[in-house]
């Protein structure tokens, strides 16, 4: 029988984070979930979730939040990096500040939370889950800044899986397609500027596409969390876990294309070695 675990989940107010927190509590685990509103702390408490105030872009607040979780639970067994948002629009339409803010939340915020939790987790092992996106594997027009932040986290998480294995810490990267959460509402930011040159393209029309897409996503969050829980409890936990048909099909197509290009250019690439 699985021993009770101690979870630290960022972005636990809604979506995957909230559903996962509820599931963990329901199976007898302890959960600290981060939120950005004091009112939500009381709301989480009703469900048996310990709420801690944290905006992952507030670097000074990250270590105190981790320390509060450790004090409340005695340690962290499962760290779930879920907080973040999506920035959608043509790359050319954004100023640098908007793209840096995207990286600050999705990459540096996740990095800093993970680094803050590692000293405790190294002492006893555990699991780190990165809730990323199929956009961390497949670049998509109109989502370039978001893809950049998720591609960066894919590389970091894969490297961490190698670095942390010696400490008994496992890593799992979750790559969902679109699920019926509030991601396409509260967690989605779009450019106020649409360049005329991009009108009629996916990147230029992404704002309108998202409005029509919201609440019509194919993925069921409860089913998605069930798969995540099963993977966490599997004898061989996967490093990467795509979720949703769109994610599976897009990632399959990406890998097929990569393999085909590799085969085409393999001989030329190998032939670049220094003559001896």
The whole-number average pLDDT for the span 205-214 is: 76
In a domain, 254, yes or no: no
For the question of whether the overall pTM of this predicted structure is more than 0.85, the answer is yes
> Could you give the CA distance from residue 56 to residue 229 in angstroms, rounded to a whole number?
24
pLDDT of residue 191: 75
pLDDT of residue 171: 98
> Could you give the CA distance from residue 276 to residue 274 in angstroms, rounded to a whole number?
6
Q: Each residue of 37-67: pLDDT tens digit?
A: 999 999 999 999 999 999 999 999 999 999 9
pLDDT of residue 179: 77
Using 50, 70 and 90 to split pLDDT, how confident is the model at 111? very high
In a domain, 256, yes or no: no
In a domain, 276, yes or no: no
Q: What is the largest CA-CA distance in the chain?
A: 71
In a domain, 50, yes or no: yes
Residue 183 pLDDT exceeds 80 = no
In a domain, 125, yes or no: yes
State how many domains the chain has.
1
Instruction: Report the chain's mean pLDDT, rounded to a whole number.
Output: 93
Q: In this prediction, what percent of the chain has a pLDDT beyond 70?
A: 95
pLDDT of residue 110: 98
The whole-number average pLDDT for the span 126-145 is: 96
> Could you give the CA distance from residue 229 to residue 220 in angstroms, rounded to a whole number?
15
The lowest-confidence range among 81-85, 135-139, 144-148, 193-197 is 193-197
What is the CB-side half-sphere exposure of residue 25 using CA atoms within 13 A?
A: 20
> Could you give the CA distance from residue 123 to residue 106 in angstroms, rounded to a whole number?
27
Separation in Å, CA 31 to CA 72, 109, 158, 246 = 9, 20, 25, 31
pLDDT of residue 209: 79
pLDDT of residue 155: 98
The CATH number covering residue 206 comes to 3.40.50.720
pLDDT of residue 269: 97
pLDDT of residue 187: 58
Tell me the two tokens of residue 180: 């019926």
Is residue 172 within 8 A of residue 231, CB to CB? The reply is yes
pLDDT of residue 125: 97
pLDDT of residue 3: 85
Residue 252 pLDDT exceeds 70 = yes
In a domain, 149, yes or no: yes
The whole-number average pLDDT for the span 163-170 is: 98
In a domain, 265, yes or no: no
Residues designated as active site = 146
Residue 222 pLDDT exceeds 80 = yes
| Domain range enclosing 27 | 6-244
In a domain, 58, yes or no: yes
Q: Whats the size of the chain, residue-wise?
A: 276
């Amino acid at each position: 029988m699985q021993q009770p675990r101690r979870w630290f989940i960022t972005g636990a107010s809604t979506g995957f984070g909230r559903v996962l927190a509820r599931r963990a509590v329901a199976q007898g685990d302890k959960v600290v979930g981060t939120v950005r509103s004091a009112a939500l702390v009381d709301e989480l408490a009703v469900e048996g979730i310990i709420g801690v105030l944290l905006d992952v872009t507030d670097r000074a607040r990250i270590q105190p939040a981790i320390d509060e979780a450790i004090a409340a639970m005695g340690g962290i067994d499962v760290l779930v990096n879920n907080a973040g948002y999506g920035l959608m629009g043509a790359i050319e339409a954004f100023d640098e500040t908007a793209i840096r803010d995207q990286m600050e939340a999705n990459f540096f915020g996740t990095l800093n939370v993970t680094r803050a939790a590692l000293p405790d987790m190294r002492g006893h092992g555990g699991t780190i889950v990165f809730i990323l996106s199929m956009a961390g594997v497949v670049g998509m027009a109109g989502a370039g800044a978001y893809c950049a932040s998720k591609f960066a986290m894919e590389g970091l998480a894969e490297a961490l899986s190698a670095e942390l294995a010696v400490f008994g810490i496992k890593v799992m990267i979750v790559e969902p397609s679109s699920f019926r959460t509030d991601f396409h509402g509260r967690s989605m930011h779009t450019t106020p500027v649409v360049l005329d040159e991009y009108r009629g393209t996916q990147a230029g029309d992404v704002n309108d596409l998202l409005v029509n897409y919201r609440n019509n996503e194919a993925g069921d969050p409860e089913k998605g969390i069930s798969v995540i829980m099963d993977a966490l409890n599997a004898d061989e936990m996967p490093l990467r876990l795509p979720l949703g048909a769109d994610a599976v099909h897009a990632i399959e197509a990406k890998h097929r294309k990569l393999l085909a290009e590799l085969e085409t250019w393999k001989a030329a690439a190998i032939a670049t070695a220094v003559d001896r």
